[in-house]
Structure formats: structure tokens, C-alpha cells
Amino acid sequence: MSKYLERSKALRNDPNVHYNCAQAVLMAFCEEKGLSSQMAADLTANFGSGMRIGGVCGAMSGGLLVLGLYGISDTGTVMSYWKQFQQSHDGMTQCRDLLRVNAEKGAPKKQHCDNMVYEAVRLTENLLRDAGKIA
């Protein structure tokens, strides 16, 4: 398991603080780029639950923030991220849709959101590695 995935799992399982999906993704990568965990948490405070309105999945948004933090903003890489995420979820990227489908399956919300975070971390990590931004 990568250090980024370990960090995101520790954040999502912290019994003292609830980190939203975007926080758990950005905070897993932030310190290597000189961004404190507190600043990362503050920046992404309103990105959870699809920016609090069921919009774009917070985990997905967190990954896009990480790509930007590492200087990746080219359309090809960003679209690759979107497409890989969509392929895993029948084209869905909206929190409300992802949660609805999960609820229809009778699966627990926390487990679903945790898995979304871990998927976003893996996708982000792979793109960063492919771009030579991390080892």
C-alpha cells in the first residue's frame, strides 16, 4: 500500500475528526508540496458532499486539486482522470448520483465514500507517477 493511500485511510478512520472526501484526498499529498495539513483541510472544507449540494464528488474534486498542486493542468491528463473515474461508475461523477446508486444497493454510505476516496487517491497517484511528479 502506498504512503498516500495509507494517509488517506488514516484520515478517513480518525475517530476524533471527520475529514470529508476532498480533504482526505488532498491531505494525503499536500505536505510534500509545502502545504500544511491544516491549510489543505481549510481549503477543502466546503468540497465534501459534492460541494455540499450533491455536485461533483468530493473525492474526485480532491484529486483534481492535487493534480493542480503538483503543476498538472493539461487537458489530456485532466480528461484522463475524469474518464477513468467515470468508467468505474457508469459515467457518474455527481455525489448525489453516486450515493443514490449506493443506497439502492443497500451499502453503507461511509464505506462507499471511503472507497471513493481510495479510488481517487490511486488514480491521482498513478497520474502523478506517470508525469514524473512522484517516485
pLDDT for 45: 98
In a domain? residue 113? yes
Is there a contact between 95 and 55 (Cβ–Cβ < 8 Å)?
A: yes
pLDDT for 69: 98
pLDDT in tens, the chain (135 residues): 999 999 999 999 999 999 999 999 999 999 999 999 999 999 999 999 999 999 999 999 999 999 999 999 999 999 999 999 999 999 999 999 999 999 999 999 999 999 999 999 999 999 999 999 999
In a domain? residue 135? no
Range of the domain at 56: 3-130
Euclidean distance between CA atoms 96 and 100, whole angstroms: 6
Tally of domains within the chain: 1
What Å distances lie between residue 118 and 46, 61, 75, 121, CA to CA? Answer: 19, 13, 23, 5
Helix axes 109-130, 3-12, angle to 10 degrees: 160
In a domain? residue 9? yes
In a domain? residue 96? yes
